[in-house]
Structure 1
Amino acid sequence: MDAVILEEQPAAGITVVNGRNYMPDAKGKLVPVDLIKPADKLQDEVVRKVMGYALDISAQVGRFRVNTMTDLDGFDQLLDQEYGVKHGGQKGNRSYQSFDGLLKVQVSVGDFIDFGPQLQTAKLLIDEYLNELTADSPQQIQALITEAFHTDKAGKIDPTAIKKLKRLQIDDQRWKDAMRAIEDAERVNYSKQYVRFYRRSSIEEQWSPVTVDLAKA
């Protein structure tokens, strides 16, 4: 009976061609392993090892998030049934506690907002208003307006800066029309649920967060 020869599998990142080991570089070119600097090979090994752990933990967190929301949604449905509520759609912010009051799970919903074309109309109205102000007009207001309509590299407007602008109480019809245009421009692009965990040793103490980053899962 002929002996079975087991061929050793190449290490991660290694490609075997005609019995010779190669590693692809960033451009996809196969470089012979014996021509690669030892420091570069060691760096590749370390990164692959660390990323292996990171991907495994990420997958566990993802499964944990799904299981957590399944359990909480199941509990919510039981409550709905008890009180005769027809469950539909995503629920808002809510909090769950253990019977002893020492453990808490908190679910919050964050809305991601962008703006429609009415925002440009609001900008024109605000510019008209500013053009009639004197040179010694409040610098703080001008700074808030500049910040509100500043766009990032992706061309996005910061909703937080727009909210600061809306807090200003200015008794001018163009300003009021601009604020109404901003409200009409606001639209919820999408919503996302966030789950946070807390614990404490006694009910007299403040809550301490249990860090599990589910926001990116």
Structure 2
Amino acid sequence: MNLQASIPAGHRVNSAGHLVPEDLISPVDKLRDDVVRDIIAKAIEQRNALASFKLQSMQKIADFCDLSAAEYGVEWGGVKGNVTMMSFDGRYKLIRAVGEHRVFDERIQAAKTLIDECIAKWSEGAQSELKALVEHAFRVSKQGHIDVNQVLSLRQISIDDPDWKSAMDAIADAIQITGTSQYLRLYERQQDGRYVQIPLDSAKV
């Protein structure tokens, strides 16, 4: 239902959801309302245009990648990882980045238990430092999530212990891919040779 269309002529809805006759609203309040609504309406248009631009750009990149691969008899089909493309003169660069959404399933708790058991059985000297690293990696965010990258960083620690290796295997097994997101980043080369990202965020324009 379009709430705006259901508002009787000569009235406006206040923040409490009540109909208020316009002749009871001060001129400055009405003008403020008009200014806000006008800017928001244009912002929504820009958001929709940007969404359409991204969709069309991603499709063009995918089509070009398929065309380029076809020269070598390869059929890609769909989105296959990150892609960097340059203009012929090197002035412009675009990057299509594909990021995975990764979460841990219930097996991460088993991994944490194995790690805690390893720390408990090792010498007291090594325990405090490693325990701090583990607690930091497994800390839970305000949203109730464990940072996948932080936990995976523990796999970089080389410890010759079968229980530790089992814990690291459990971490790897606990990762689940729940989806992907595509990102489009556009760059322009500056006179000093650096590539600076072309901002599509109004706060950076």
The TM-score with structure 1 as length reference comes to 0.78
Give, as a single letter, the amino acid of the residue that structure 1 aligns with 2:43: A
Partner of 1:119: 108
Checking the alignment, whether the CA contact within 8 Å between 2:134 and 2:154 is kept in structure 1 is: yes
Distance 1:132 1:40 in 2: 69
- How many residues were matched structurally? 198
Which of residues 44, 56, 63 in structure 2 aligns to 1:74? 63
Matches of 1:135 and 1:14 in 2, distance apart?
Answer: 71
| Distance in 2 (alpha carbons) for counterparts of 1:119 and 1:62 | 36
1:1-217 aligned within 5 A = 15-16=7-8, 21-26=11-16, 28-35=17-24, 41-137=30-126, 139-201=128-190, 205-212=193-200
Structure 2: segments with no counterpart, 5+ residues: none
Q: In the alignment, residue 162 of structure 2 is paired with which amino acid?
A: Q
Measured on the aligned residues, the alpha-carbon RMSD in Å equals 2.6
Mapped partners of 2:42, 2:124: distance in 1: 60
Q: Is the contact between residue 103 and residue 199 of structure 1 (CA under 8 Å) also seen in structure 2?
A: yes
Q: Report how far residue 151 of structure 1 moved.
A: 2.1
What SS is found at the alignment partner of 1:83? Answer: coil
Residue 67 (structure 1) shift: 1.6
What is the CA-CA distance between 1:93 and the residue it aligns to?
1.1
The structure whose residues are more often helix, as a share, is 2
The aligned counterpart of 1:5 is: none
Q: Kindly provide the CA deviation profile for residues 88-124 of structure 1, in whole angstroms up to 9, marking residues without a partner as x.
A: 2321111111111111111111111011221111011
CA shift, 1:184, in A, is 0.5
Identity over aligned pairs, percent: 36
On the 8 A contact 1:23/1:33 being kept in 2, the answer is no
One-letter amino acid of the structure 1 residue matched with residue 151 of structure 2 = I
Question: Given that residues 86 and 92 in structure 2 are in contact (C-alpha distance below 8 angstroms), is that contact kept between their aligned partners in structure 1?
Answer: yes
Contact preservation (8 Å) 1:126, 1:178: yes
Which structure has the larger Rg over C-alpha atoms? Answer: 1
